[in-house]
Structure 1
Amino acid sequence: MTIRRRFLLASSLARLIRRERGGLRHVEGFFLEQRDRFAWVRLEEERGLLILQTDGPDSEAEDEIEIPVGHAHALLEVCAGEVDYTRTALPIGESHALVDEIIRPRVLHRVSVEFEAKTDAEAFRPLEWFGPEVTGDPRYTNQAIALRGLDEAAEIPLSDAALNSLIDTLDGRSPAQARVAISRPKAKQVPVTRARAQSGGETVKVNLDEIEEAMMREMEKTLQKSRSE
């Protein structure tokens, strides 16, 4: 289970982070929700992922499988909405802050931190360069931005305190309280350009039940393989 806290970020700070640390280009396409779950496809560099998320009372359970890049392109063509962004994983203590520069469908800068336990999420004190928290505002999730758009986003002012705090973070001087268990980056942080999918004019129908069944089969194969080794 994953618990996320999300914060807005001053655009100048986001650009500084990307310039200093690079980033990994993501394109995410979302299918329409069904009950308390939804699925999306993510293209990052030369890697495609199909992800199924089930919402719980306090957190989100996500299952993902890697798919061929060509399949990811084809699925993106039939998604209900997309988000295009560059992500930078910035170390804070023993964990990472995930800094997103959303390019499309509208420009937005955001930083998020992921936790495995609710107590860790509640104990986390945002760094001074973080902007206002929007964890409880569903408008700022990638899914909502892709499917419903975002009418407006507050412009976050830059302060000397925020800039000094970010410089400390870039220099590895984050507060000890930032030592929380979150997901580590899985790929080298370099930009990627999305190529257009070649669907040949065919209509692709998407069903979340079929996606879930396919993901369960793939995970079962992986588990059986690991047991046999």
Structure 2
Amino acid sequence: MIEIERKFLVASNDFKQEAIRSTRIIQGFLNTDKERTVRVRLKGDKGFLTVKGKSSNDGLSRFEWEKEITDEEAKSLLNICESGVIDKIRYEVQVKNHIFEIDEFFGDNKGLIIAEVELNSEHETFVKPGWLGEEVTGDVKYYNSQLSKHPFCNW
């Protein structure tokens, strides 16, 4: 239940040609406390409730628990979330042994594109595709919970 991931800005739209899947995601937060974030997500036609713990000092890892819920439950919970719902399309791109999840944001976060790669250990190596930009792992302003409160359009 420990999630290890690295985050990067995206330097070009070339990833879209390599995507094996794309899904629209609407998500909101029931709680954005840095000690425990509670997220509601509608991913395509599936709902999810996710609890994330505080990030490690380097931002590479944190506790994550997720449970699938019905889309009706997710829609109902989205109605009581804190303000600042996130709207994005997630593209999945396979690069060698890793899947990169690239989020293209809309609404108040339009223009922001972030790639994440999940790892099995903090020191695992991976191939960096040419469209991958600056690393922002551990930079709290790029967390979705923060983007919901302090959107990209206000930076």
Q: TM-score, normalised by structure 2?
A: 0.84
Letter in structure 2 aligned against 1:118: E
Give, in angstroms, the shift of residue 13 of structure 1: 2.7
Equivalences, count? 148
Letter in structure 1 aligned against 2:118: E
8 A contact 2:15–2:93 mirrored in 1: no
Q: Counterparts of 1:48-127 in structure 2 under 5 Å?
A: 48-57=47-56, 59-80=61-82, 81-107=84-110, 108-120=112-124, 123-124=125-126, 126-127=128-129
Give, in angstroms, the shift of residue 33 of structure 1: 2.8
| Residues 131-183 of structure 1: per-residue CA shift (max 9 Å, x gap) | 1111131111111101222333xxxxxxxxxxxxxxxxxxxxxxxxxxxxxxx
8 A contact 1:11–1:109 mirrored in 2: no
CA distance in 1, matches of 2:65, 2:31: 17
Aligned to 1:138: 140
CA distance in 1, matches of 2:79, 2:150: 17
CA distance in 2, matches of 1:130, 1:35: 27
Structure 2: gaps of 5 or more residues: none
CA distance in 1, matches of 2:61, 2:9: 20
Aligned to 1:12: 13
Give, in angstroms, the shift of residue 102 of structure 1: 0.8
CA distance in 1, matches of 2:36, 2:131: 33
Give, in angstroms, the shift of residue 105 of structure 1: 2.4
Aligned to 2:26: 27
Letter in structure 2 aligned against 1:46: D
State the 4+ residue runs in structure 1 displaced beyond 3 angstroms. Answer: 14-18
Q: 1:128 to 1:15 in 2, by over 3 A?
A: closer
Task: State the Cα RMSD in Å.
Answer: 2.0
Aligned to 1:128: 130
CA distance in 2, matches of 1:97, 1:33: 25
Aligned to 2:42: 43
Letter in structure 1 aligned against 2:115: V
Q: TM-score, normalised by structure 1?
A: 0.59
Q: 1:140 to 1:22 in 2, by over 3 A?
A: same
Q: 1:33 to 1:142 in 2, by over 3 A?
A: closer
| Residues 195-219 of structure 1: per-residue CA shift (max 9 Å, x gap) | xxxxxxxxxxxxxxxxxxxxxxxxx
CA distance in 1, matches of 2:116, 2:34: 25
- Percent of aligned pairs with the same amino acid: 28
CA distance in 2, matches of 1:15, 1:127: 12
Letter in structure 2 aligned against 1:59: S
CA distance in 2, matches of 1:23, 1:111: 13
Q: Look up the SS of the partner of 1:71 in the other structure.
A: helix
Letter in structure 2 aligned against 1:88: Y
